[in-house]
Amino acid sequence: MKTLISGCLAMCLLFSTQVGFAKEVYHWSFKPNNNHEPADTEKEYKDLLDRYSGFYIGDTSHKTLYLTFDNGYENGYTKDVLDVLKEKDVPAAFFVTGHYLNSAPGLVKRMVEEGHIVGNHSWNHPSLPEISDEELKEELEKVKEKFTQLTGETDMHYLRPPRGTFNERSLQKTEELGYVNVFWSFAYNDWETNKQKGADYAYNRIMERIHPGAVLLLHSVSKDNAEALGRVIDECRRQGYTFKSLDELMFENWLKVGEEKA
């Protein structure tokens, strides 16, 4: 009886802890600035990202850009995006769901073959802070297992939190699972496929908010993005920007931390 009571108390404590974490669910947001100044976000968000090794922006003292795409499903434009990236020799990160891995395996293989990063966007796209630790782990492990099965690659280190929701528990648990949470300092309403407004609209929306260190969130379901991407890359380079991968960003952060500790 004593063992049973102890077990029940432990379960109750675990449940109350997880419920307590879930009470506070943050929705990622950023604050764009004018004149191509770097975007900002809430201090509380930045503190949490610093604590759990996440990021939303790169080194703002350099004109560097990081292209990231969310791939929840395929809409026929990822091939065009990959063609442009290959032609322009630009690296990108693609965050994929279980649905994408099952429905577009050839494109996922191509991403890897052409040197892009494939990140985890969860299997079913749930709000991670609102599911249990066990469910969270399963959501991420299923993606990684399927990715390895498809490509033979075992490395998957970057996570784009589905729906942009997070809290301290989700950041802590995903870090424990070996993931770096990647948020963003630029995004626009590009995912609504029935509200596309043309390549010029996408080009102008992106170029008006470009800033040093920007982590750009784009959706590959957008026809506008696919058609504007080449022009965006050319104009950014004309303005003195370079495109780097998330791996390069992490390496530079690692060097910076080492210098600060030295």
Residue 262: per-residue pLDDT: 52
Domain membership of residue 27 (yes or no) is no
CA distances from 244 to 16, 165, 218 (A): 43, 26, 16
For residue 115 the two structure tokens come to: 């040197």
70 in catalytic set: yes
Strands (E), 14-113: 26-27, 64-71, 92-96
Instruction: Give me the CATH number covering residue 224.
Output: 3.20.20.370
Query: What number is the average pLDDT over the span 104-122?
Result: 98
Domain membership of residue 144 (yes or no) is yes
Best CA proximity match to 146, nearest among 174, 125, 122, 180? 122
Range of the domain at 80: 42-261
Query: What number is the average pLDDT over the span 122-130?
Result: 98
Domain membership of residue 193 (yes or no) is yes
Query: Given a cut of 80, is residue 253 above it in pLDDT?
Result: no
Domain membership of residue 17 (yes or no) is no
The total of structural domains in the chain comes to: 1
Q: Which of 27, 70, 89, 125 is catalytic?
A: 70
Q: Which of 116, 121, 211, 219 is catalytic?
A: 219
Domain membership of residue 12 (yes or no) is no
User: Mapped to the 3 state alphabet, what secondary structure does 193-205 carry?
Assistant: HHHCCCHHHHHHH
CB distance 218 to 69 below 8 Å: yes
Residue 15: per-residue pLDDT: 41
219 in catalytic set: yes
Domain membership of residue 83 (yes or no) is yes
Question: Rounded distance, CA 167 to CA 175, Å?
Answer: 12
pLDDT band at 207 (very low <50, low <70, confident <90, very high): very high
Question: Rounded distance, CA 253 to CA 107, Å?
Answer: 30
Domain membership of residue 103 (yes or no) is yes
Domain membership of residue 50 (yes or no) is yes
Strands (E), the chain: 26-27, 64-71, 92-96, 117-120, 158-159, 165-166, 180-181, 215-219, 242-243
The DSSP letter of residue 163 is G
Query: Given a cut of 50, is residue 116 above it in pLDDT?
Result: yes
CA distances from 257 to 70, 138, 178, 181, 254 (A): 29, 32, 19, 18, 5
